[in-house]
Amino acid sequence: MKIRIAHSPDSDDAFMFYPLVKGEIDTEGLEIEHVLADIETLNREALKGTYEVSAISFHAYPYVADKYLVLPSGGSVGEGYGPVVVAKEKYDSLKGKRIAVPGTLTTAFLTLKLYEPDFEEVVVAFDRIIDEVLKGNVDAGLVIHEGQLTYSDHGLVKIVDLGEWWKEMYDLPLPLGCNIVRKDLGEETIRKIERLMRKSVEYSLRERERALSYAIDYARDLEEDWERTDRFVGMYVNRRTVDYGEDGREAVRLLLRLGKEKGIIKTDIPEVIFSDEV
């Protein structure tokens, strides 16, 4: 059976999927094909149910919950850190500011709307956001992926780290991305994919140097910077990626509930979210 796994071409996803890409673990009879696309594209494809397994933003999940469940492994969770709003100068407030965002279905966007509801969003490809800020086309930019570590290299300053703000507000980690599995695959195949996802993450954490040597090719702006690549990967592939934990799952439900209450998420929040809850 052929399973397409769609994920972002960035170092943390490359790290966690390394064992599956390179055939380092037994796929239990499944033929795995990897598809690479930016996270907002994956969010939009999930609305159509395109891929059997896909990385998406948690913000997008309620809109695809009729077709998908969230796998208990493979999540990207910020432990007191997360997407960062940056600018060329320090602002006391983001109210009314023109801000470049990497897509309106990203969790970064949802969290920014919870932090400051009143701003003008400008949707820009995530890897162009820093350039747009530098050119003065926007007042600020919402950076994700490796840009969270490299923005200061460009002379930009941090306005707010949304993961830090979330931790201060709710004393919980900030769930950003997840891997989802299509419901129509059936229970047996879903259980296989749950096992494969967990084994893949555990293998990479165990064989860290080998997985990093593969992932560094996907580390934008970090080039051969092993130290910062390792740091970034460690931020988003760790024990939470093996399993969210009870507080991680609580954080998922809180994030989605707040998004619904504030009118940012315009669909119902499902009662069952994770595949191992079925």
Q: Which residues are catalytic?
A: 145
C-alpha distance from residue 228 to each of 147, 152, 212 (Å): 11, 13, 11
CA 172 to chain centre: 17
For 85, residues 6+ apart whose C-beta sits below 8 A from its C-beta are 94, 99, 112, 140, 141, 142, 143, 158, 159, 160, 162
Q: Quick check: helix, strand or coil at residue 28?
A: coil
CB 167 within 8 A of CB 174: yes
Question: Was 107 annotated as part of a binding site?
Answer: yes
User: What's the sign of the alpha-carbon dihedral 83, 88, 89, 92?
Assistant: negative
- Which residues lie across from 53 on neighbouring strands? 5, 181
CA 183 to chain centre: 21
C-alpha distance from residue 20 to each of 180, 194, 247 (Å): 16, 13, 28
- Which residues lie across from 98 on neighbouring strands? 120
Specify binding-site residues for substrate.
Answer: 107-108
Specify binding-site residues.
Answer: 107-108
